[in-house]
Amino acid sequence: MARKDKIVTPSVTKKLQSLGYSVADWDDSKTYSKLDEEIINALSKASKNQKGNEGYPDRIYFNKSEKLLILVEEKPRMLDHNIDDINKGAVAGIKWYLSFFNKKDFENYKILGIAVSGDLDDSYGHGFSCFIIRNMKIEELKQVTNFLSEEDFLAIFNTFDEEEAIKTVSSASKTINNLLRNIDSQKRPILLSALMISLFKPKDYTNTFIDNYKNMSGKDILTNLYPKVKDILEGENIPNQKIEVLDAELKSIANDPTMQNSDILKTILKILEKSIIPLFNNHFSTSSNYDIMGKFYEEFLRYAGVSNVKKGIVLTPRHITTLFTKLIPMKADDVILDLCCGTGAFLIAGMNKLISLIQNSDRSDKVEAINNVKENQLFGFELNPTMYICALSNMLFRGDGKSNIYNYDSIRDSNVDRILKEVKPTIGFINPPYSGKENKEDPTPKEITFLTKMLDNCSRYGVIIAPYSAYSKDDIIRENILKKHTLKFVINMPKDLFQPNAGTYTAIAVFETNLPHDYKKEIAFYDLDDDGFVLTKNKGRTDLFRNWNGIENELLEALHSNNYDDGIKSLKTKITPKSEWNIYAYSKTDYSGLSKSDFDKTVKDYLLFSMKKDLDIVTEEINDFDMLNLIHSYFTEDIDE
């Protein structure tokens, strides 16, 4: 029985069809084939006459597997949008129906309510409001201004999940860092990784440590920690040489008197068990590219007194690891390689991309295919033992390729060449250590060396982010690279991308491997001088105003478009074997923002510099009063002469 005052406006039907929906899936039928018992029971007393009879909105959409419920109220006139009467107003009406789902019974549901009035095709003649039930509250989502695809509707909830998870990790990392203040900052992530692994629950294995640690002293926890970690890792088929790395690093911590004679370790284990471990056990672990161990690592180094960038450690922001997976046409059977994987951020992003491709396909072996991704399609190498152990624990909890992370020097160790020949990677992602010199004082390989090895060992594509110098120096090496591989895109990144840890000018370069560069073809350059992120006091750089999605879409469109070329922010041009791989070598100067005051200031700056150079005081510190006297006397003398 349909609602007597049911309203279904043509523009909404048209919009839903354009998004690929079957309109029948949005009807208001209350059948068990479409809904479930909980929803039907909730609506059984939702009549707007408020007499306890059944009631239902104009449209109802429900995805049973995802538990996504969308309720829609429609009014033919825009004037009816915000009327307070639940029978006459679209917003009031949808809030009425949502109130019947704002209960604990629906905590695991993803529930949206949409109020529409007027004609959606008329930009100024309609109203649209979207509401979400979150934390037992009905909140408006002002950023949602029209109907979305099901994938985008689900992404709303994934975003909320991710934000909550990030808050949790950020808070926990600060607390744990403070608790471990007596431990060397480089040892803290090792201890944290060991504590996390001790809480791991393998299949067909009872981890008694999880219950027993609560009754242990600090000394007992330290005594039992490594044996438990070793037992778990051996059960996960982690080779002994990898486990021994952890043992060696933990020995210096095991005798720490503060850890032995306090409840610090017990407190940390409780925080991890309650707040961090559950994140790996829910949808977050395969829908988000957030690097949990990377966040802890950054927090532990924040007050270390050593600049991460000076040590060559620059962890990649998660929106960039995700961008890498969108810059190339990935396939479900790709094998991903990271020659210096750090805490595993690129491998996590690659894994999630491959899993998404499999889940959205029509193949019948999805479970087997996803397991194969985790076990056989992710390979990483990391020389730094601390970061290696972080990567090991990171991947262990995500269930993705922990036995394929190696503590090897990916450039010099012959074991790496043997492994690469066996696994035959197809895709390479890399953020190499910066400022390598490859000399006796600093044996760290240059960025271009990592790039060369990655491209030569990947059969389809390679993507790198590195400082500008990697794209302008070493002409012979870069020319040799293009003899074998094709440069597709170069994207200049914002200077503050790695803030607050480092201020480095970087760019992303995308290559199609095993295809010599055709110098007759144009390649795309893009200047992404602003990614929409802002530096906040407690969270670092965040997408505070939710600008990144739009900026990313504009970037991807520009790279693949044949006519997007303004010569300043983006351009397409041919290069030569000796060319720099940087947009600034080809772009036009943008004079549109210049004013007379800019010209005046430039002239004054030049005159001031000329005077200081002439008087040999360029590097001297001179107060304002003395400087004014100098300027007056200098230029007055010039006039008198």
179-230 pLDDT tens trace: 998 888 878 889 999 999 999 988 778 899 999 999 999 999 999 999 999 9
Own/partner long-range contacts of 359-363 (Cβ < 8 Å, ≥24 apart): 361/332
* Domains of the chain by residue range: 10-148, 596-640
The SS3 assignment for 536 reads strand
Give the span between the Cα atoms of 195 and 396, in whole angstroms: 13
Mean of pLDDT over the chain: 87
User: What confidence category does residue 455 fall into, taking pLDDT thresholds of 50, 70 and 90?
Assistant: very high
| CA-only gyration radius of the chain, Å | 29
251-265, 337-351, 555-569, range with the lowest pLDDT: 555-569
Determine which of 98-107, 157-166, 609-618 has the lowest per-residue pLDDT on average: 157-166
pLDDT at position 142 over 90: no
pLDDT of residue 31: 72
pLDDT computed for residue 360 by the predictor: 82
Residue environment code for 596-608, b if the CB has 16+ CB neighbours within 10 A, otherwise e: eeeeeeeeeeeee
Which residue shows structure tokens 């007393």?
45
Token couple for 87 = 């029978």
- 481-495: per-residue pLDDT in tens? 999 999 999 999 998
| Residue 220 token pair | 């007992």
pLDDT tens figures, 621-632:
677 667 778 887
Distance CA 513, CA 119 (A): 50
Whether the pLDDT of residue 312 is over 50: the answer is no
Secondary structure element (H or E) that encloses residue 10, with its range:
helix 10-18
pTM: 0.71
Mean of the pLDDT values across residues 291-308?
68
